[in-house]
Amino acid sequence: MPLMTGKQALMEMLRAEGVRYIFGNPGTSESAIMSSLPAYPDIKYVLVTQEGVAMGMADGYSSATGVPSLVNLHIETGLANGISLLHHAMDGGIPLVLTAGNKDIRKFNEGRSDLVEMVRQFTKWSGEVTHVEQMSGMVRRAFNEAKTPPTGPAFVDFAANAMEDSAEMEIVPSSKGYFRLNPDPAAVQDAAGMLANSERPIMVVGDRLAQSGGVDAAVLLAESIGARVYAASLARMNFPSGHPQFLGRINPVLPSSRELLSTGDVVLAVGTNVFSGFFYFSGRSLAAPTRLIHVDSAYREVGKSEPTDVGIVADPKTALDLLTDAVSDGMSGEQRETARLRAAAVAEEKSDSRVAWEARLRQRWNQRPMSTERMMAELARGMPADAIIVDDAISSKDALHGAVDFIEFDSIYGERIGAIGWGMGGAMGVKLAHPERPVIAVVGDGSAMMTVQALWTAANENIPVVYLICNNRSYRVLKVNMDVYKTQLLGEPRPDEYIGMDFNLPLNIAGIANAIGVHGRTIEDPEELAPAIEQAVESGRPAVLDVLIDGSV
Residues 91, 356: Cα–Cα separation, whole Å: 33
Determine, yes or no, domain membership for 436: yes
Instruction: Find all residues with CB under 8 Å of 434, minimum gap 6, and list them.
Output: 64, 388, 410
- The answer as to whether 423 is a domain residue is yes
Q: Is residue 179 domain-resident?
A: no
Q: Does 388 reside within a domain?
A: yes
- Block means of pLDDT (10 residues each) for the chain, length 553 residues? 95 98 95 96 98 98 97 96 96 96 87 94 97 97 96 97 96 93 97 97 96 97 98 93 94 84 96 85 86 96 94 98 96 96 96 94 95 98 97 93 92 88 98 98 96 98 98 91 87 92 94 97 98 98 97 90
The residue among 168, 194, 223 that closes a domain is 168
The rounded distance, in Å, linking the Cα atoms of 69 and 39 is: 20
Distance CA 249, CA 233 (A): 7
The closest alpha carbon to 500, from 480, 525, 474, belongs to 474
Same domain, 380 and 529: yes
Residue 217: CATH number of its domain: 3.40.50.1220
Strand residue runs (E) in 180-327: 201-205, 228-231, 246-249, 266-270, 291-296, 310-313
Same domain, 527 and 396: yes
The C-alpha angle 68, 114, 83, rounded to 5 degrees, equals 45
Question: How many CB atoms lie under 10 A from the CB of residue 364?
Answer: 16
pLDDT number for residue 275: 87
Would 293 be classed as within a structural domain?
yes
Q: Is 54 helix (H, G, I), strand (E, B) or coil?
A: helix
CA pair distance 319, 366, nearest whole angstrom:
48
Q: What is the pLDDT of residue 416?
A: 84
What is the number of domains present in the chain? 3
Q: Are 311 and 371 members of one domain? A: no
Handedness of CA 402, 405, 407, 408 (dihedral sign): negative
Residues 201, 228 contacting (CB under 8 angstroms): yes
What's the pTM?
A: 0.95
Parent domain of 491: 365-548
Q: Alpha-carbon dihedral of residues 280, 283, 287, 289, nearest 10 degrees? A: 150
Q: Are residues 116 and 146 in the same domain?
A: yes
Residues 201 and 158 in one domain: no
Q: Are residues 128 and 222 in the same domain?
A: no
CATH code of the domain covering residue 516: 3.40.50.970
| 198 and 334 part of one domain | yes
Residues 374 and 458 in one domain: yes
Q: What are the distances in angstroms from CA 105 to CA 31, 63, 495?
A: 16, 35, 54
Distance CA 370, CA 382 (A): 16
User: Residue 429's closest CA among 74, 49, 96?
Assistant: 96
Q: Is residue 99 located within the same domain as residue 222?
A: no
Residue 484 placed within a domain = yes
What does the pLDDT read at residue 485? 87
pLDDT digits (tens, 9 = 90+) for 446-501: 999 999 999 999 999 999 999 999 999 999 999 988 988 888 888 899 998 999 99
Question: Are 398 and 470 members of one domain?
Answer: yes
Same domain, 198 and 160: no
Between CA 440 and CA 448, with CA 443 as vertex, the angle to 5 degrees is 120
pLDDT of residue 191: 98
Q: Does residue 242 form part of some domain?
A: yes
Residue type, 305: S
What are 516-528's pLDDT values in tens digits? 999 999 999 999 9
Q: Mark which of 304, 322, 350 sits at the end of a domain.
A: 350
Distance CA 447, CA 450 (A): 5
Alpha helix (H) residue ranges in 103-254: 115-119, 135-147, 160-164, 185-196, 207-211, 215-225
Q: Which of 389, 416, 451 is nearest to 57 (CA)?
A: 451
Query: Last residue of some domain: 293, 326, 350?
Result: 350
535 shares its domain with 390: yes
In a domain? residue 356: no
